[in-house]
């Protein structure tokens, strides 16, 4: 008989949030992560209020999050003439009961790992262990096929397997063997961090430029009390011809700043010097903006997809990681209702797969940055007064539509009951 352990493939934001959630509700689990060493890699991401709410419910505190980031105060789009196209407050400043946090992705990831080790134990995350596939068992359980970094292979059996192994998911590849290859729409992002003085509110997300050529930047640390400088996360983005597909090998690589800074040569204003911001970074990474076409289901019997493995999407809505955290919590809620069973996986799939697949397509249409496409269509990007191009009401309605689709409409979120009530446990909870 298969034991009741839940196997998690992938120890990223999604996998570790799942481990913390399962532990909280009394379900034993084990995470297999392919890298040998968890290091604080990556640059910045925003955690939306719907995700921060779940983190607080997981006992991750404001103090914890202030170590890895800071509460965001504003989201703003600015045209190349330096004039605002749109701005809105964020998090607590927008009336949510929870903040939005702009965090260093790598430090946040390490924080989650520390919490897992502290609460479940050092054996909870097996590093250097790549899940290569799965085998469904006749008793309803599942075996994960695992390759260790030393080349050895083994199988681990459990009640369920959660594929949280990211956009290149091996679990998804087996579940959907005919899925199309990764989709690239032509945008290339270069990303880095630079210590600099934060502008506007001191915690503003700024998208500057046009629908095909822009710079996004926001602070991801509180300012240093001595220098006033914050770590600024920046993403420089240009849309290119994609008719011949992505020509570089691999989807992520370190590049020289000279390879791309020329795209931003003249982007200098009294309040911002983009080439200087880019040049002062220690290093830069190139990422084509990629996603995957939605699939019809995220479940195959006792196997489930979660996070980017389920719904890799363009980062235009700043919500892929936030959604991975919410996924973990919805899975936990489904287990409270249906126990550690395939019915729980079916309930999660029924609730999330349809609407979040729609969100993937919406982000392909630029997500909230769609306002820049509207500016381009209506005035070719040149305007004096944005109100003559897109009236304030239309701008506000456009943004409200995105928030609702992404699950962080203010009123609904504030009024929604906790995803997992305090103290809730699965029926078969063990004393863990
Ligand atoms: C430029 C950019 C900006 C972004 N900005 C935001 C933002 O502001 N807000 C936001 O919420 N999200 C943002 N995102 C998205 C966010 O980073 C991802 O959605 C999130 O990291 C997904 O987490 P995950 O755990 O599902 O996948 P991943 O982070 O990819 O983690 C998967 C893990 O599984 C491991 N793994 C892979 N294959 C295997 C295997 N076969 N076996 C075992 N382990 C395996 C990997 O090593 C990794 O640790 C952004 C993304 C990009 C590219």
Q: What is the pLDDT of residues 342-360, one digit of tens each?
A: 999 999 999 999 999 998 9
Report the C-alpha gap between 86 and 82 in whole angstroms: 12
Q: What is the pLDDT of residue 315?
A: 85
Task: Label residue 26 left, alpha or beta by phi (over 0 means left) and psi (-120 to 50 means alpha).
Answer: left
Tokens, residue 105:
């992705």
Q: If you search the block for the tokens 């220690």, which residue do you land on?
A: 282
Please give the average per-residue pLDDT across 241-267, as a whole number: 89
Model confidence band, residue 289 (pLDDT cutoffs 50, 70, 90): very high
Work out which ligand 1 atom sits closest to the CA atom of 46.
Answer: 8
Minimal-distance CA residue to ligand 1 atom 38: 165
162 CA to middle of ligand 1, Å?
15
Helices and strands, number each (H, E), in the chain: 13, 22
Question: Mean pLDDT across the stretch 27-50?
Answer: 91
* CA distance linking residue 73 with residue 200, whole number of Å: 10
Q: Strand, helix or coil at 225?
A: coil
Give residue ranges with CB within 6 A of ligand 1.
9-15, 32-35, 45-46, 130-131, 164-166, 170, 189, 191, 235, 287, 307-308, 315, 318-322, 324
Query: Which of 35, 134, 320 to mutate for ligand 1's pocket (most ligand atoms within 8 Å of CB)?
Result: 320
- What percentage of the chain exceeds 70 in pLDDT? 99
Instruction: Using the mean position of ligand 1's atoms as its centre, give its distance from the Cα of residue 105 in Å.
Output: 9
Among 192, 147, 150, residue whose Cα is nearest residue 9? 147
Say yes or no to pLDDT of 404 above 90: no
- 391 Cα: distance to centroid of ligand 1 (angstroms): 37
Give the pLDDT mean for 29-39: 94
* Model pLDDT, residue 343: 97
Q: How many Å lie between the centroid of ligand 1 and the Cα of residue 320?
A: 8
pTM of the model: 0.94
385 closest CA partner among 76, 77, 80, 85: 85
- Is it the case that residue 430 has pLDDT exceeding 70? no
Categorize the per-residue pLDDT at 432 as very low, low, confident or very high, splitting at 50, 70 and 90. Answer: very low
Nearest to 102 by CA among 197, 220, 201: 220
Q: Which of 90, 93, 75, 98 is nearest to 368 (CA)?
A: 75
CA-closest candidate to residue 52, choices 98, 16, 96: 98
Read off the pLDDT band of 2 (50, 70, 90): low
C-alpha gyration radius of the chain:
22
E strands along 137-293, which residues?
Answer: 142-148, 153-158, 160-163, 183-196, 204-209, 213-219, 230-239, 253-255, 268-269, 272-273, 284-291
What does DSSP assign to residue 89?
E
């Amino acid at each position: 008989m298969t034991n009741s352990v839940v196997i998690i493939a992938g120890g990223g934001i999604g996998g570790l949030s799942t481990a913390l959630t399962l532990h909280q509700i009394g379900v034993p689990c084990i995470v297999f992560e392919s890298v040998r060493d968890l290091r604080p890699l990556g640059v910045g991401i925003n955690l939306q209020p719907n995700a921060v709410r779940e983190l607080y419910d997981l006992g991750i505190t404001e103090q914890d999050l202030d170590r890895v980031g800071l509460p965001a105060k504003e989201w703003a789009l600015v045209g190349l003439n330096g004039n605002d196209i749109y701005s809105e407050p964020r998090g607590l400043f927008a009336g949510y009961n929870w903040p939005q946090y702009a965090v260093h992705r790598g430090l946040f990831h390490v924080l989650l790992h520390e919490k897992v080790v502290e609460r479940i134990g050092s054996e909870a995350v097996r590093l250097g262990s790549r899940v290569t596939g799965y085998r469904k068992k006749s008793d309803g359980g599942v075996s994960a096929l695992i390759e260790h970094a030393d080349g050895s292979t083994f199988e681990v059996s459990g009640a369920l397997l959660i594929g949280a192994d990211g956009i290149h998911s091996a679990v998804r590849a087996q579940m959907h063997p005919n899925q199309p290859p990764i989709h690239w729409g032509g945008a290339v992002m270069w990303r880095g961090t630079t210590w600099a003085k934060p502008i506007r509110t001191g915690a503003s997300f700024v998208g500057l430029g046009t629908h095909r050529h822009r710079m996004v930047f926001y602070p991801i640390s509180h300012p240093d009390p001595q220098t006033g400088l914050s770590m600024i996360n920046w993403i420089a983005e240009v849309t290119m011809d994609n008719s011949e597909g992505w020509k570089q090998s691999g989807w992520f690589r370190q590049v020289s700043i000279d390879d791309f800074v020329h795209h931003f040569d003249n982007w200098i204003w009294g309040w911002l010097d983009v080439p200087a911001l880019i040049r002062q970074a220690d290093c830069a990474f190139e990422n084509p903006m990629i996603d995957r076409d939605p699939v019809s289901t995220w479940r195959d019997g006792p196997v489930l997809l979660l996070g980017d493995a389920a719904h890799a999407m363009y980062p235009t809505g700043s919500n892929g990681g936030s959604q991975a955290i919410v996924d973990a919590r919805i899975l936990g809620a489904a287990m409270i209702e249906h126990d550690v069973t395939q019915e729980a996986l079916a309930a999660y799939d029924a609730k999330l797969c349809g609407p979040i697949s729609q969100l993937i397509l919406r982000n392909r249409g630029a997500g909230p940055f769609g306002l820049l496409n509207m500016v381009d269509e209506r005035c070719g990007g040149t305007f004096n007064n944005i109100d003559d191009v897109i009236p304030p009401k239309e701008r506000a309605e456009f943004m409200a539509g995105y928030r609702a689709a992404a699950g962080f409409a203010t009123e609904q979120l504030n009024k929604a009951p906790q995803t997992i009530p305090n103290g809730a446990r699965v029926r078969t909870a063990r004393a863990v």
